[in-house]
Structure 1
Amino acid sequence: MTEVLYRKWRPKQFSDIVGQPHVVKTLIRAVQSERVAHAYLFCGPRGTGKTSTARILAKSINCESRDSCNPIEPCRICRSIDKGIALDLIEIDAASNRGIDDIRDLREKARYAPNEASHKIYIIDEAHMLTDQAFNALLKTLEEPPEKVIFILATTESHKIPPTILSRCQRYDFARITTEVISDRLSEICKVEEFKVEIDALHLIANLARGALRDAINILEQSVVSDDPPISESKVRNLLDLGDDTINIELTKNLLEKNTSKALEIVNKAANSGTDLRYVHMGLIKYLRATLLIKSNIKLNSEFSEDIYKQIESISQNCELDSILSCLKTVTDPDLKTDSSNPLSLELAIVEIGMKSVNYNNQINKPDLVHIKETVDVQQDQSIQEKKDDRNSVKIIKPKSSEEAPIKKPDQINSSETKDSGAPNNFKSDEKLENGWQSILESLRYTKGQKFNLKALLVTCTSRKLKNDSIVLGFSHPSHRERMEHELTIPESRKILSDSFAKIMNKQYELIVEKDNVTARENKINNGAHSPLIRAAQSMGAQIIEQNTKRELDN
């Protein structure tokens, strides 16, 4: 039986490694200058050549040839390593040998000298799978390794390696291999193996591999044996249930145009035809990203054909940048788990994108929302106190006819009806203070270390009046009044409040909290007659015949 393609084309020397020039160059110089470390850590995604590089490094260290890095003819040691029969190259799968006993056994065997090579090499694959106890057992050996022993650790999740291990190894990060490099490598393999594969199909396979050369070679071999030559892009798509590129283009276009129903129809059609929706999701992200880059005047590489590129360019011209960004954020949400056949996750994302385009601002009173947000800190105390405080109780009787209860015009209202009788004679209102009240609130921000939010606290102020060089603040609830009194005893809070008032009034005033709460309550009663609800009732013919407080009703 023939050897599988990815094993047959596995790199045998440093010159065969593709996509990792920074790693190859450093290791070659280390071997040539005989400055080889006792421990290495190879990190990176799967299929990028970590284990293959570890084997090549082991061959180069133990090679008997003059050019140990890229020998013309492999020596006896190199041939034994290629065949997997070398006694001094020990490969350990940490996923299945992860316990402390396995590492203790390794540590005991490492004490013995090499059998035939100059160095004994231990390759520990998936090193992050070792237990904490196993890492602790390995730590001392890495710190003071036996002579002629080298450890090479390979992992796809370097963040799981303890810092104590990291500090004792030379670390090399393997990058994802670019699409162009993978495509060139696949083309080389096809030429040697005499495979007839179209260049568009190779580009598609390289894109699907997502930086893993081993995955790309596996897909290539699967494609070659699946159909008669030549292998076209459409044959690869049919093999992997990818669907047509038209699906992703149309889906991207309709999402950006906020055509939710059409986008849902495309996804359902793809699901019913057996298309793997995971690839639809990946393709959607890919095309949205391409649209974003083109919209930002960034020239893309040869990832797309000329026809596809023109279609993406046309889509980008008919949409806004913030719309593309919003779609990308939604479809790349980590909580969006796309199943291969269940379209629900994608459908929810599409509907969410469509809902974001609907403007609800006309249905919501923004100032009311802001007011609710600002007073959220004091709502709990207000609910506790409201049982003890007075409330307006308005009795409204609707007359039998509009003639019995004529509605007074504004010019018929007696000035005595609108006079604020509850305000003491030694106070005076200031139009500048009232007009600038919202600006004062907006200038206040929460400061770290404050017990209360000054802005939210000041929102609960029911009256503000000038008295000589002072501004008297009134509060209807004792808890709010006590909070403000406490804040004014703090120099920092007092300065913040005074400066906020001074910016509007163009003068420094002393802030005083009104002790007597009767005025605020009377104002609350009087203001009740002018509430929107009462005015609406009056417009329908209702008449106010009596006003009572809750306390008076209870008595």
Structure 2
Amino acid sequence: MAQVFYRKWRPQTLAEVVGQEHVTRTLLNALSGGHVSHAYLFCGPRGTGKTSTGRILAKAVNCVKTSTGGKGEPCNKCVMCKSITEGRALDIIEIDAASHTGVDDVRELIERVNYAPAQAKYKVYIIDEVHMLSGSASNALLKTLEEPPPKVIFILATTETHKVLPTIVSRCQRFDFHRLSQKDTEEKLSRITQAEGINIAPEALRLVAKSARGGLRDAENLLEQIYTYYGAEVSLVQVQEMLGMAGNERARELVKYITQKDIGAGLKAIGRAAEDGLDLKQIDREVVSYLRELLLLKSGLDKDSGLTKEEMAELKTLAEKASLEQILRAVKLFGQIEGALDNDSTLPLELALVDACIEPVIEKPARAAEAEPVRTARPSTPAPAHPAPRAALNTTPPAATPKPVPTASSTPHPVAARPITRPVEPPKDPVKVSALQGAGSELAQLKNNWALIIQQVPDAVRRSAAVAMLRSAGIKPIAIEGDTVVLSFKYPYHREKIEELENKKIVAGLIGQFLGRPCQIKCVYEPEENHLVREAQKLGAQIIEVEEK
């Protein structure tokens, strides 16, 4: 049976390990200087050479070649090197920690460690996926890992370093393997294609290397799959089909419509892609990839991205027409919808397209200069017993109040609070201005206009979870304590959801726009039947802490 590419072309010397020079150079220096450690920890993503490097190190310390035995690269010609390469060396023990996770497996390993090597100079234990060991098994290994017998070397490999006990990490020499660069992956794949007699277009090979995302084993597997399906002659179109990237042209077309703000043409392009049975998730990923390249170009970073010259020329033309803000907004919108996409509905793509083409509406915050006179000005005429509600928001007719005799020195003052949808003209009646002074009148204004505040929220947050709960959960303001508005909730669940950072920011913004000043919100759980709390608040009490039972 023929070997798969990633096994057939596995590196056999440290010099053949691709893209990990910081690791291989250190190990070569340790071998040549005779400073090989008793325990190593190799960390890094999959397919970056951790297990292969462990096997090469096992061969290097056990190589019996006269000139460099145990002092450098393995010769791969002696009996010991060949037996390790073929996987039949008795003293090189590979253990998969994912299937040997228990403390009993580690106890068995510890018992065998004490036996001397049968053939080799050193007995080497390669424990793959060491993070899968249970806590008890990891602790049982500690003493042996710290002080193993003289002729034993441990090589641990993991893809998730944060799951390995710190006590194990501290007993090993740690090496971090990095993802391979696209250039290194291309060079290795190019050597494989030349040796295997595969004629593949350079753009196609570049696309294979890019799709592997730094994992050489993934790239070699994909190359073999393409070779098996298409034969020795491979074109760029065939690689795109194998990767599910037949919508590459559609993605570029969609990016062009986004930069041109052509909503109609963009919607038609999405519809055609769905009718042709293309993978909408793959199209979204390609759109994000092109938009990212566009963002880098617009930011002045002209790097080798793996695109063809024609694609780069087209992107540079689009970058000149679009603004940096528009590109950034489009990247965010299309990058957030991948989880919501399926091949049955084009709606997420269509919504992202429309949002990316429409200029965002920026709500202007209330100016501090308008709010300042309200806090400082004190009209000489006393305020009425009941605050006068705002005529632009409250539909309930105000109660009749005695009007003061106007004087020559009376001047109108601007009102701090303003509705969300449109500015309100400053009232000319000084009585109404005085009614807005103090926390009590602000609270009355907020209560009277609470329903309209919820109805007239900006379109940007109209569909948010916070606004939906404000509409249906019976939430209402009950107190204002300085810059903090206290909201009452009938159910603990709604209170917990509103206290989430994003929802809390939305609600505080809506109330702050009405009051004309920044504010915070405080959420309290208050069942409807708890009338005693309301009566106590009327007498001047404040809610300090709420305890749920």
Distance between the aligned counterparts of 2:340 and 2:214, measured in 1? Answer: 21
Q: Secondary structure at the match of 1:115?
A: coil
The Cα shift of 1:346 comes to: 4.8
Q: Distance in 2 between matches of 1:340 and 1:191?
A: 40
Cα distance in 1, alignment partners of residues 182 and 237 from structure 2: 19
CA distance in 2, matches of 1:348, 1:368: 37
- Equivalent residue, structure 2, for 1:533: none
> Which residue matches 1:40?
40
2:282 alignment partner in structure 1:
279
Contact 1:226 1:239 in 2 (8 A): no
Q: Counterpart in 2 of 1:17?
A: 17
1:30-109 counterparts in 2 under 5 A? 30-65=30-65, 66-68=67-69, 69-109=72-112
In the TM superposition, residue 417 of structure 1 has moved relative to its aligned partner by 4.5
Q: Which residue of 2 aligns with 1:367?
A: 366
What is the CA–CA distance in structure 2 between the aligned matches of 1:394 and 1:56, rounded to whole Å? 81
Q: Does structure 2 retain, via aligned residues, the 8 Å contact 1:294–1:316?
A: yes
1:227-238 equivalence runs, <5 A = 227-238=230-241
Deviations 1:446-497 (A, max 9, x none): xxxxxxxxxxxxxxx9759xxxxxxxx963639999967xxxxxxxxxxxxx
Please tell me whether residue 418 in structure 1 is matched to residue 368 in structure 2.
Answer: no
Partner of 2:522: none
Deviations 1:33-66 (A, max 9, x none): 1111121111111111111111111111111123
Say if 1:252 and 1:284, in contact at 8 Å, map to a contact too. Answer: yes
Offset, 1:150: 1.5
How far apart in 2 are the matches of 1:198 and 1:110?
51
> 1:360: how far off?
3.2
Matching residue's letter, 1:390: H
- Runs of 5+ unmatched residues, structure 1: 373-387, 396-414, 421-427, 439-460, 465-472, 485-555
Q: Does 1:390 align with 2:378?
A: no
1:477 counterpart SS class? helix
Relative distance call for 1:430 and 1:350 in structure 2 (3 A) is: closer
Q: Where does the alignment leave 5 or more consecutive residues of structure 2 unmatched?
A: 372-383, 392-402, 417-431, 444-478, 483-549
Q: 1:162 to 1:314 in 2, by over 3 A?
A: same
**Cα distance change of structure 1 residues 2 and 266 upon mapping to structure 2, 3 Å threshold:** same
Cα drift, residue 419 of structure 1: 4.0
Aligned to 1:144: 147
**Percent of aligned positions that are identical:** 39
Aligned to 1:453: none
How far is the alpha carbon of 1:262 from its aligned partner? Answer: 3.6
Residue 475 of structure 1 pairs with residue 474 of structure 2: no
The letter of the residue matching 2:356 is: G
The 3 A distance-change label for structure 1 pair 146 and 71 is closer
The aligned counterpart of 1:160 is 163
Question: Superposed, which structure 2 residues align to 1:165-244 within 5 Å?
Answer: 165-244=168-247
Which is worse superposed, 301-310 or 63-72? 63-72
Query: CA distance change for structure 1 residues 342 and 83 in 2, over 3 Å: closer, same or farther?
Result: farther
2:498 is aligned to: none
- Are residues 151 and 310 of structure 1, via their aligned partners in 2, closer, same or farther at CA, if it must alter by over 3 Å? same
State the match for 1:347 in structure 2.
Answer: 349
1:303 aligned onto 2:306:
yes
Structure 1 counterpart of 2:11, one-letter code = P
- The match for 1:452 is none
C-alpha distance in 2 between matches for 1:208 and 1:82: 30
Match of 2:135 in 1: 132
Distance in 2 of aligned mates of 1:82 and 1:50: 16
Q: Cα deviations across residues 207-245 of structure 1 (Å, max 9, x unaligned)?
A: 111111111111111111212442100011122321143
Query: 1:259 Cα deviation (Å)?
Result: 3.6
**Which digits, 9 at most, give the CA deviation of each residue in 1:241-296, with x for residues without a partner?**
21143122122222333444444443443344343344323322221121111112
Q: Give the count of matched residue pairs.
A: 407
Deviations 1:111-139 (A, max 9, x none): 22222111111111112222222222222
Instruction: Identify if the C-alpha distance between structure 1 residues 89 and 205 changes in structure 2 by more than 3 Å, giving closer, same or farther.
Output: same
Distance 1:43 1:394, change over 3 A: closer
4+ residue runs of structure 1 moved beyond 6 angstroms? 368-372, 428-431, 478-484
Q: What is the TM-score when the length of structure 2 is the normalising length?
A: 0.66
SS in 2 for 1:313: helix
Aligned residue identity for 1:100: V
Aligned-CA RMSD value? 3.7
Over 3 Å counting, the alpha-carbon distance change for 1:215 and 1:314 in structure 2 is same
CA distance in 2 between counterparts of 1:113 and 1:429 reads 103
* CA-CA distance at 1:12 after TM superposition: 1.0
Distance between the aligned counterparts of 2:369 and 2:126, measured in 1? 62
Deviations 1:495-518 (A, max 9, x none): xxxxxxxxxxxxxxxxxxxxxxxx
Q: How far has the Cα of 1:162 moved from its partner? A: 2.1
CA, structure 1 residues 245+370, in 2 after alignment: closer, same or farther (shift >3 Å)? farther
Aligned to 1:446: none
